[in-house]
């Protein structure tokens, strides 16, 4: 069975631009969470979606947003990019939003802001 | 505040030896803990988990120990192999905080042949 698919794998953007990242969860998984990974801050929770609803949100500015579609695929958007947004963005899917349900991570999208 | 921290940034062990990776957490409300392994260029991969009503859980070559009194979590890897070389993260979750995991900074495990 296919794993979590994130596209694109790599992205280079300039400051001020906006970007949209995509995540296709494992078939049958309805919960999708997003994380930002940087060398300095480690893995930080961005938000979590279940049944097209955002159920939880981390401490990130409003420039970071997301959504989930009826087929459980999710996108996250970052507007007005800053250099500090350069990071690996990881998506994790699970059958339900309970934290004790195993989450499977994708390979991530490496975003570089120049 | 909430934090999950690891005691050592890098651990170097000889192939065949046992490895112990430690983690400290500060939120006593956390009731679920997970260890992840992340290899270069890949996303984190689930290794083993433990609920707060347990103090030990064993998997294949791995054991997780939870000490709620001192808010300490450890991952023991038996007979460490070169393929175990990776960054290991502990993470905590709360049943009341759906979907959100708080990760530690990670420990790099280097296995010397």
Region of poorest pLDDT, from A28-32, A33-37, A39-43, A88-92: A39-43
What average pLDDT does this structure show over A86-110?
92
Half-sphere exposure of B42 (CA within 13 A, CB side): 13
Give the tens place of pLDDT for each residue, A6-21: 999 999 999 999 999 9
Is B99's CB within 8 Å of A33's CB? yes
CA distance B47 to chain A (A): 10
CA distance A16 to chain B (A): 27
Is A90's CB within 8 Å of B103's CB? no
Integer Cα distance of B75 and A59 in angstroms = 29
Q: Residue ranges of chain B with pLDDT lower than 50?
A: 1-3, 6-7
SS (H, E, C) chain B: CCCEEECCCEEEEECCCCEEEEEEECCCCCCEEEEEEECCCCCCEEEEEEECCCCEEECCCEEEEEECCCCEEEEEECCCCHHHCEEEEEEEECCCCCCCEEECCCEEEEEEC
For residue B1, the model assigns a pLDDT of: 27
Asked if A96 contacts A50 with a C-beta cutoff of 8 angstroms, the reply is yes
Is B43's CB within 8 Å of A90's CB? yes
DSSP SS3 for A84: helix
What average pLDDT does chain B have? 90
Residue B62 sits at the chain A interface (C-beta within 8 Å): no
Q: Which of B32, B42, B105 shows the shortest C-beta gap to A100?
A: B32
A57 → chain B, closest CA residue: B100
For residue B64, the model assigns a pLDDT of: 98
* Residue of A7, A29, A43 to mutate, testing the B interface (most B Cβ within 10 Å of its Cβ): A43
Region of poorest pLDDT, from A41-45, A104-108, B96-100: B96-100
What average pLDDT does this structure show over A108-114?
98
Integer Cα distance of A45 and A32 in angstroms = 12
Q: Which CATH number fits domain B4-112: 3.10.20.310, 2.60.40.10, 2.170.190.11, 1.20.1440.130?
A: 2.60.40.10
A102 → chain B, closest CA residue: B46
């Amino acid at each position: 069975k296919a794993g979590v698919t994130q596209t694109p794998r790599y992205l280079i953007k300039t400051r001020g631009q906006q970007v949209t990242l995509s995540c296709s969860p494992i078939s049958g998984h309805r919960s999708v969470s997003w994380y930002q990974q940087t060398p300095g801050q480690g893995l930080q929770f961005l938000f979590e979606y279940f049944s097209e609803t955002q159920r939880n949100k981390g401490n990130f500015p409003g420039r970071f947003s997301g959504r989930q579609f009826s087929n459980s695929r999710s996108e996250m958007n970052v507007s007005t990019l800053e250099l500090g947004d350069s990071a690996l963005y990881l998506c994790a899917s699970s059958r339900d939003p309970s934290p004790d349900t195993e989450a499977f991570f994708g390979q991530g999208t490496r975003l570089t802001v120049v | 505040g909430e934090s999950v921290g690891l005691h050592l940034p890098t651990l170097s062990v000889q192939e065949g030896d046992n490895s112990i990776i430690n983690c400290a957490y500060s939120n006593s409300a956390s009731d679920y803990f997970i260890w992840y392994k992340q290899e270069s260029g890949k996303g984190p991969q689930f290794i083993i988990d433990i609920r707060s009503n347990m103090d030990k859980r064993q998997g294949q070559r791995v054991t997780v120990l939870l000490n709620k009194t001192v808010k300490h979590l450890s991952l023991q890897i038996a007979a460490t192999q070169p393929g175990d070389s990776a960054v290991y993260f502990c993470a905590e979750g709360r049943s009341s905080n759906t979907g959100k995991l708080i990760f530690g900074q990670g420990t790099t495990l280097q296995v010397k042949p």
